[in-house]
Structure formats: C-alpha cells, structure tokens
Amino acid sequence: MLNKLILAAIASLCVMTAQAQDLTIKLWDNATAPHSNGLSGEDKDEGQERISNTNVAELFIYEANPAKATGQAVVICPGGGYRLLAMGHEGHQYAEWMAENGITTAVLKYRLPNFTPQVPMEDAAEALRYMREEYRGKESIKQLGVIQPITIKRRDDGKYIIISGERRWRASQMAGLETLPAYIRDVDDEDLHAMALVENIQRENLNAIEIALGMQRLVEECGLTQEAMAQKVGKKRSTVSNYMRLLSLPSQVQLALKEGVISMGHAKAIAALDHDLQIKALKKCVKRALSVRQTEELARKLSEAPQVIENDDEDYPESYSRIVTEFERVLSDNISIKRTKSGATRITVECANDSELEALLSKLGKIK
C-alpha cells in the first residue's frame, strides 16, 4: 500500500539497473486538461532521450521490486529548463534504480508551458492525484475487489460506454481483474454526456475552480441553464452562481484559490469587487492573513472608498495565511492574526454571541 508520495525533480544518481516500465498512463491532453499550451502534433525527438513539443501528459510507472517493496512511491518530473524534457537521464534511469530498490516510481511526461505556466503545474497535480487515488485504488481492488459498481451504456455494436467509474475500471485493469460489477443505463447521448460531467463534478478532492470549470462545461456542452444544472448536481442555484462567478476572477486569484492560499469564502468576497480592485484585495488578504469576515469587510471598504485603504509595507510570513486557513477550517471563519513591531503574534477568535461561543467550545472539544 502506498503511504507516501513525493513530488521530486532529481538531479543526479549513480548506479542504474535495467528494468522496463510496467504501465503507461495517459493523464490528459490539451483538449481535456483545464488549460492548453497551444502545442500540437507528435513529441519532437531532441536526441539523448530528450523531447520537446509535448502536448499530452503521460505517466510511465515502474513498480517496486516485490522483494524490496517499501510501500512508498515517487513522481519524478524531469528537468529541461521548460524548453524540453530530459526523460532519460533525469527520468527513466532514476525510475529503474528506485523501482529495483523497492520504491514505485512514476516518470511524468508533462506538457511544456509554452508561455502558459499553469500547464505543467496542472500536470504535476494530476499525476499526484492519479498515484494517490487510482494507483492506490488498484492495490485496494486487489485485496477487496470493486465495491461500488460502475455505470455504463450499451452501444449499438454491443460494446459499452462508461458513464461513471472510469477510475475504478482503470484500477481494475491494473489489478488484473477480468470482470467488474456495473449498472447498465439506457440514456440518450445528451443525458449520457451530462451524467458523465455531473459525476466528475461530484468527485472528492476537487478544488473550487475545477468544480466551476465542470459546471461551465455543463452549461456550454449540454445547453443547461444554471437552474437546471443546480438540480442535476444537487446544489442550490445561488451556490452554482457563486462557483460560476469564480471563473471571471483574475488568474492570480484563481491560482490562489486552486493552491489553497485563499478559501472559497475569500474568493467570493473578492469577486464582489471591480476587476481593478480584486488583485489589490487578494494581495492584502494574503499579506495580512485575513479571515473570510475580514476579507468581506475589506471588500466593503474598497467598494466604498478605494483610496482609504493604505499601502501596507510590512511583510507577513506566508505561514500566517496557512495558520488562518487551518483555524478557519477547524474552528471559525472569524479569525484574525496580528503581529506587533517586536515580532510577537496575537491570534484572535471572535464570537458574536453566546451561541457562537458554545459552538466554538464544542468544536474544541472534538479536537484530539
């Protein structure tokens, strides 16, 4: 069982052994990934196992030597200065050595940025997600089998289309299963597409931007109104509207939300501002490690009188933002953190009434 994943770009290693990769997994391409790098065509061979023009993200997985298996896994992202990928001496050669010594290793062929920096970051995040969820799922399926059936549709030629459960199907293949349980649904192509998109939106571990992009696809590709989409995904229409508004935010704000620097509540408050004030609000929110309520108050002040928000030259450590985010997740939205001139830190949790205080005490009692 995999218990640790490390994103690594490794520079040098000495001894290599010959071991072929066990699996090749296509993660996505420019048509299916959140962002495209604008490249097309085949990978270009640059010699010495180096390639360029990459526009399809793939994982080459080397499974650990069973006799030495440690239960760990590594994802290697080969270097190349974002101009090419040194897949050989910075990828496959390390993977062979590490697999032989008991560590399952996946070499990521990521899409080069081509002036779109979020592209390789998306590929790296998807590679980690795959190894944590799907590859690990293979180990679980080996032991327990497929617990939840997949959903499929029968085609006219007698074959089947997967509506939901593709990851379970792929994990079952990797586990060597020849059959798996499935529900067969009789739906038309439009409903099939909508069901597949809805299933993707309802996945666990999606960030708010990924959910918003999925909802946008439902609107554009299935012709759904926001009200109809809300019914299909089981959310309130206002919730759907809030998600969709996130896509109009500047890329800096969207990236901060995707990376967990700010929460959905922060982004919602920032979205209420005019475009030229949103970046200003983001910088102050992150720098001051503001809570959601404090960000809402900041947005209100900026809307009323942008000039009254003074420039803040004091640098707050990045850890302040992480502290507030964790406190908000576990305890309350109304957290503030202040640093004095001497460097001392004060963390304040505000309760508007006795009910909020009792709720806070209840949450504290559940923390172990």
27: three-class secondary structure by DSSP? strand
- Catalytic site positions: 166
Torsion of CA 124, 126, 131, 132, to 10 degrees: 110
**From residue 212, how far is each of 232, 236, 303, 348 by CA, in Å?**
14, 14, 25, 33
What order do you get walking across the sheet with 160-164 strand by strand? 160-164, 150-154, 182-184
The answer to whether 114 touches 53, Cβ cutoff 8 Å, is no
Residue 324: per-residue pLDDT = 58
Q: Which residue has the higher pLDDT, 145 or 153?
A: 153
> Minimal CA–CA distance to 96: which of 9, 174, 22, 3?
22
255 versus 42: the higher-pLDDT residue is 42
- Look at strands 104-109 and 56-62 and give their pairing: antiparallel
Tell me the backbone φ, ψ of residue 7, rounded to 5 degrees: -85, 120
Q: At 116, is the pLDDT very low, low, confident or very high (cuts 50, 70, 90)?
A: confident
Residues whose CB is less than 8 angstroms from the CB of residue 98 and which lie 6 or more positions away in sequence, other chains included: 62, 74, 105
Alpha carbon distances (Å) from 277 to 244, 253, 258, 309: 19, 11, 20, 11
Region of poorest pLDDT, from 51-55, 84-88, 174-178, 290-294:
174-178
Question: Is the pLDDT score of 12 beyond 60?
Answer: no
| Domains of the chain with bracketed CATH | 4-133 (no CATH), 150-246 (1.10.10), 251-366 (no CATH)
Which residues does residue 59 pair with via DSSP β-bridges, in sequence order?
A: 25, 108
Determine the Cα–Cα distance for residues 247 and 154; give it in Å rounded to an integer. Answer: 36
3-state class (DSSP) for residue 332: coil
- Mean local confidence (pLDDT), 110-122: 91
Higher pLDDT, 137 or 236: 236
pLDDT tens-place string over residues 322-337: 665 666 565 555 666 6
- Tell me the pairing of strands 23-29 and 150-154: unpaired
* Span 68-112, pLDDT tens digits: 988 888 999 999 878 899 999 999 999 999 999 999 899 999 999
pTM (2 d.p.) = 0.47
> CB under 8 Å to 77, separation ≥6 — which residues?
7, 8, 9, 108, 110, 120, 124, 127
Q: Give me the DSSP letters along 159-211.
A: -EEEEE-HHHHHHHHHTT-S---EEE----HHHHHHHHHHHHHT-TT--HHHH
> How far apart are the C-alpha atoms of 120 and 109, rounded to whole Å?
9
CB-count burial class (<10 Å; 0-12, 13-18, 19+) for 108: buried
Q: Distance between alpha carbon 157 and the CA centroid of its chain, in Å?
A: 36
Q: Which phi-psi region, left, alpha or beta, contains residue 289 (left: φ > 0; alpha: ψ -120 to 50)?
A: left
- Segment 168-172 mean pLDDT: 77
Question: Considering the chain, what is the average pLDDT of its residues?
Answer: 78
Residues 6+ away with beta carbon under 8 Å from 352: 334
Query: Any idea which of 154-163, 198-207, 244-253, 259-268 has the lowest mean pLDDT?
Result: 198-207
pLDDT score for 5: 35
